Structure 1
Amino acid sequence: MTATVPPAPSENPIPDPAGRVELPPGVVLTDARFVNDDLLPVPLARRRWTTYNFTALWVGMAHNIPSWLLASGLVALGMDWKQAVFTIALANVIVLAPMLLTGHAGPKYGIPFPVLARASFGLRGANLPAMIRAGVACAWFGIQTWIGGQGIFVLLGKLFGGWAEASEVGGQPWTLWVCFVLFWALELAIIHRGMEALRRFENWAAPFVIVGALVLLVWVANKAGGFGPLLDQPSQLGWGADFWPVFFPSLMGMIAFWSTLSLNIPDFTRFGAGQRAQVWGQTLGLPTTMTLFALLSVFVTSGSQAVYGAAIWDPVQLAARTDNVFGLLFALVTVLVATISVNIAANVVSPAYDLANLAPRFITFRTGALITGVVGVVIMPWKLTETPELYIFTWLGLVGGLLGTVAGILIADYWIVRRTRLDLTDLYTPGGRYWYTSGWNVHAVVAFAVGGVLAVGGSHSAPGKGPFPQDGLIPFLKPLADYGWAVGLAASLVVYVAPTAGRRRV
């Protein structure tokens, strides 16, 4: 028996004034194949994240080294700083839409992403999108941890002479390994304390990192006597025919930067005090922060060009130029806080829940987080970053393209087919309405396959730069490859909705 119900329970409980729903009183879910404490709906009393909490979450996640470098990549493609910032701003406004749509189920039902996916994919089928998301997150956790460890290594090298010249172990200075391991352990120690600890960490990390970025801006502007020549650098593309072929693929790339979170944002919004908190918190936190951070990176880099004669986009390398001990220590702490803030929230929370969904009887949220940490080391991120064109820009790009397909199915099922109505008990009950065929919704799998083929079937590589044929895996789909996320989302949504048009389900 998977659900024990007392006499005459309310099968469809009345939502509270904020529209939130919890399990009917007295319902006890006991099937350990699909239930553990971390996957159960968050009780209403514990859904207390406010607008500030969600804003702080995004500020903390957006302020990181890869985000800082986004504008530099676009400038390198020939854009001027205004075009680069515009592209980043527009991309984050676009990705905010699926973020809010999938995030709606969090505060309403208190469920994480893999449980929400059960409604569309089935109780067992939900492991398909969950494991794809977990795989991407585990890989990025390892890469971000290695990058964070390198940042600490560089700054400590300035503080302690000879630090960078230490003897090598496994092809790297042993001091770099120490930085990596300590950084890794610190991240896992924080998340091991649970989501409430993460909320408190993000609350103070967000303003701290903002202050750190502003201090860097003031320091560079003071040394440069202004903001430098980069602001006057003209676009190599203009706004005509040369611009748009670069703009649209770049826009998709900027969207893909946070598209992973558009799937598992319910992992956070499930703790929300209501829809208003998650909608306003994310709206204030994501597009505004990413845009302002891009502006900061442009101004700081332009100032560095005036001071040092070359544009230094990497904030760690720029901070290392100072000989002020206090400044170096402040930069060190800022890098620590910024990288931990994004890596835990973006790359540990999701796989922790996803792995728990795979085997709830054996894997809790904390166990899933530990597995994520171990996988992040096993994949040897120090090797992966040596060949980014084969891994970061190929494998992760390929799998990342599939995530838009999953988002399309989730949005179609929750908003169009079910009109946001779910049966909480059946999300954990074999044989219920979300059991489909032995726990799999074949229709969702078909929609995923169609959207996935259209999204990534045209994947191609430049000669000698990757594993794909120059003309694409499926040549006639090559024109779609640069728009993979949008193509996958739209195609899977249409395929999923078409057979159910006019029918409403719970």
Structure 2
Amino acid sequence: MATTVPQNSKLYNEDIAPRSEAGHWKAWDLFAWWMSAWHSLGGYAMAVGLIVLGISGWQMAVGLIVGLVIIYLFSNLMGAAGQKVGVPFPVFARISFGVYGANIPAILRAIVAVAWYGIQTYLASAAVMLLIVKVFPSAKGMTTASFLGLSGLGWLCFLVLWAAQLAVLWRGMEAVRKLSDFAGTTIWVAMIALAVWVLNRAHWSLNWNYREAVSNAPGGTFVALLGAIFITTAYMGGPMLNFADFTRLAPNARDVRRGNQLGLLLNGVAFGVVSVVIALASVKVYGKAVTDPLQMLADMDSVAMLLVAIISVAIATVGINIILNFVSPAYDFANAAPKYISFRTGGVITAVLALLVMPWKLYSNPIAVNYFIGGVGATMGPLLGITLVDYYLVRRGVVDVAALYSDDPNGPYFYRKGFNRKAIVSLVIAGVAALAAAYVPALSVLAHFSWPIGVLLGGVSYYLLNGAERAALAPRPAPAVVASGESVAS
């Protein structure tokens, strides 16, 4: 991408600069990216957790599959846009929110990512600690004493993984790509081992009609099934939003679509179905669906199988953590002050904040997770709707990349003092509606639909508020050519 940008601008540094050469993230890398994104303890827990909606096993599978198709469609839109423009998400957000206003969606995304980065690191360290105690029973003594809510062995495992992830990010996006290629496939080892183990204990039989309860929500099973679909899409609400952080490094849009096909329509569906199979088999073994795979791993009597499974889980969790919860805030913080914060510095800020929030306490407090992280997460839908409508329907894919780095008050993305008020108003309208749907008791029937409500209201309100801009940017009809060779307005 040969784009001349104002490198002396305070909005520029080399880490958030436009792609300068052909990208290295090809279809296989994006396929592995999606494997890393889905293959985690959180992905399994989300899939199995759908059973509380009062739907059966086969309906869980249907909800997951339809949700994945929706994610695929939105990821194609966001991914192709990111690949064409060639800039990371915070810079891409300058198109719709303004060169300074882009920090609003960037910081909102960073808050969610930092919290989940800490939680995922803690979950991976818990898996490693489980393995250490299983292999070395004498280490159990290190799990009793507590400092700030974490045992000595817990601190050791957490800090080792915390430092290892920072070391990968410090080496740059190429190291992230290589880790994703490796980590994405390893969880299949653990999932297959777990599936074989629990199916064997369940005598290789499943009840696809099993359900924990009958849905008593208005609309019954149909609404519950829709809820399963949109819980699945909301789970990937953040990654869909900042997908440009990765697809900007792809050589062409075809690789983006191909990677999405393999990673979502093939691998994602397979992972979802295997998760449901494990859950249904666990019903026969434990009497109810087990939502925490660590509980089943702890019951394995084969140390060799446990060793392979937990190492795979730990590697996969580190992989998902870096690509979903580490790269994004590193760019987001760098965007806030490009002249002072590099991608590496943004990564250090992310890691330190993830440590300071004490994620083991955060994870053990459902109220904090649901209301704080979930509340900020409810803004991911509106942000996605606004950015996609702006790019595809308002600007028709036409972007002045160099102007994204310009602090000239007359620049096309400076708007008013660097902020596009129309985007901010749309975010407030859609964000309030999404939060109300998620948390107001009187609207509880809409709780599982906050993500699509946010996407729809964010996109529609922004589209309507930009009527004049759409007219100004609309393609003009070609002039008619008269016989003399002169042209006249048609």
- The normalised TM-score by structure 1 is 0.87
Change (3 A) 1:28 1:410: closer
Determine the structure 2 residue equivalent to 1:437. Answer: 416
| Counterpart Cα distance in 2 of 1:101 and 1:479 | 29
How many pairs were matched up? 467
After TM superposition, the structure 1 stretch with the greater mean CA deviation from structure 2, 67-76 or 53-62, is: 67-76
The reply on whether 1:408 has 2:350 as its aligned counterpart is: no
| Counterpart Cα distance in 1 of 2:280 and 2:228 | 22
Deviation at 1:155, TM superposition (A): 2.1
Determine the structure 1 residue equivalent to 2:8. Answer: 31
The reply on whether 1:115 has 2:115 as its aligned counterpart is: no
Deviation at 1:314, TM superposition (A): 2.5
Deviation at 1:400, TM superposition (A): 1.3
List aligned pairs for 1:99-178, cutoff 5 A: 99-166=75-142, 167-170=144-147, 171-178=149-156
Change (3 A) 1:505 1:399: farther
Match of 2:429 among 440, 450, 470: 450
The reply on whether 1:502 has 2:478 as its aligned counterpart is: no
Residue 398 of structure 2 aligns to a residue in which SS? coil
Q: Say if 1:153 and 1:164, in contact at 8 Å, map to a contact too.
A: no
| Counterpart Cα distance in 2 of 1:132 and 1:111 | 19
Q: Say if 1:454 and 1:480, in contact at 8 Å, map to a contact too.
A: no
- Per-residue CA deviations over 1:276-307 (Å, capped at 9, x if unaligned) read 00111012202433322222123233434445
The reply on whether 1:41 has 2:18 as its aligned counterpart is: yes
Structure with greater helix percent? 2
Determine the structure 1 residue equivalent to 2:2. Answer: 22
Determine the structure 2 residue equivalent to 1:249. Answer: 227
Deviation at 1:105, TM superposition (A): 2.4
Q: Say if 1:136 and 1:396, in contact at 8 Å, map to a contact too.
A: yes
After TM superposition, the structure 1 stretch with the greater mean CA deviation from structure 2, 198-207 or 343-352, is: 198-207
| Counterpart Cα distance in 2 of 1:117 and 1:410 | 7
| Counterpart Cα distance in 1 of 2:284 and 2:74 | 41
Q: Say if 2:434 and 2:451, in contact at 8 Å, map to a contact too.
A: yes
| Counterpart Cα distance in 2 of 1:442 and 1:304 | 51
Match of 2:398 among 401, 407, 421: 421
Match of 1:375 among 335, 353, 372: 353
- Per-residue CA deviations over 1:302-325 (Å, capped at 9, x if unaligned) read 434445666444222212222323
Q: Say if 1:417 and 1:503, in contact at 8 Å, map to a contact too.
A: no
- Per-residue CA deviations over 1:70-126 (Å, capped at 9, x if unaligned) read 232122332211111111111121122222212222221210101111111110000
| Counterpart Cα distance in 1 of 2:282 and 2:245 | 39
Determine the structure 1 residue equivalent to 2:47. Answer: 71
Determine the structure 1 residue equivalent to 2:449. Answer: 483
Q: Say if 2:48 and 2:289, in contact at 8 Å, map to a contact too.
A: no
Change (3 A) 1:80 1:478: closer
Residue 191 of structure 2 aligns to a residue in which SS? helix
List aligned pairs for 1:49-64, cutoff 5 A: 49-64=25-40
| Counterpart Cα distance in 2 of 1:251 and 1:302 | 19
Change (3 A) 1:456 1:307: closer
Match of 1:197 among 161, 172, 175: 175
Determine the structure 1 residue equivalent to 2:299. Answer: 321
Q: Say if 1:62 and 1:290, in contact at 8 Å, map to a contact too.
A: yes
Change (3 A) 1:454 1:22: farther
| Counterpart Cα distance in 2 of 1:363 and 1:419 | 32
| Counterpart Cα distance in 1 of 2:461 and 2:5 | 36
Give the AA of the match of 1:79: I
| Counterpart Cα distance in 2 of 1:295 and 1:482 | 21
Deviation at 1:441, TM superposition (A): 1.0
| Counterpart Cα distance in 2 of 1:304 and 1:248 | 25
Change (3 A) 1:89 1:496: same
Residue 163 of structure 1 aligns to a residue in which SS? helix
Residue 503 of structure 1 aligns to a residue in which SS? helix
Change (3 A) 1:85 1:29: same
Residue 140 of structure 2 aligns to a residue in which SS? coil
After TM superposition, the structure 1 stretch with the greater mean CA deviation from structure 2, 333-342 or 284-293, is: 284-293
| Counterpart Cα distance in 1 of 2:296 and 2:60 | 21
- Per-residue CA deviations over 1:361-397 (Å, capped at 9, x if unaligned) read 1111111111111111111111111211x12222222
| Counterpart Cα distance in 2 of 1:75 and 1:345 | 28
| Counterpart Cα distance in 1 of 2:330 and 2:17 | 14
Give the AA of the match of 2:369: I
Change (3 A) 1:69 1:230: farther
Q: Say if 1:165 and 1:173, in contact at 8 Å, map to a contact too.
A: no
Determine the structure 2 residue equivalent to 1:493. Answer: 459
Determine the structure 2 residue equivalent to 1:15. Answer: none
Give the AA of the match of 2:252: G
Q: Percent identity, please.
A: 35
Q: Say if 2:87 and 2:248, in contact at 8 Å, map to a contact too.
A: yes
Match of 1:343 among 314, 321, 327: 321
Q: Say if 2:165 and 2:318, in contact at 8 Å, map to a contact too.
A: yes
Match of 1:297 among 275, 287, 296: 275
Change (3 A) 1:28 1:487: closer
Deviation at 1:208, TM superposition (A): 2.3
Change (3 A) 1:127 1:310: closer
Determine the structure 2 residue equivalent to 1:467. Answer: none
Q: Say if 1:22 and 1:424, in contact at 8 Å, map to a contact too.
A: no
Deviation at 1:206, TM superposition (A): 2.2
| Counterpart Cα distance in 1 of 2:209 and 2:227 | 25
Residue 93 of structure 2 aligns to a residue in which SS? helix
| Counterpart Cα distance in 2 of 1:434 and 1:263 | 20
- Per-residue CA deviations over 1:436-461 (Å, capped at 9, x if unaligned) read 11111111111111111222134436
Q: Say if 2:122 and 2:360, in contact at 8 Å, map to a contact too.
A: yes
Greater relative contact order structure (CA < 8 Å, 6+ sep): 2
Deviation at 1:235, TM superposition (A): 7.3
| Counterpart Cα distance in 2 of 1:411 and 1:302 | 38
- The normalised TM-score by structure 2 is 0.89
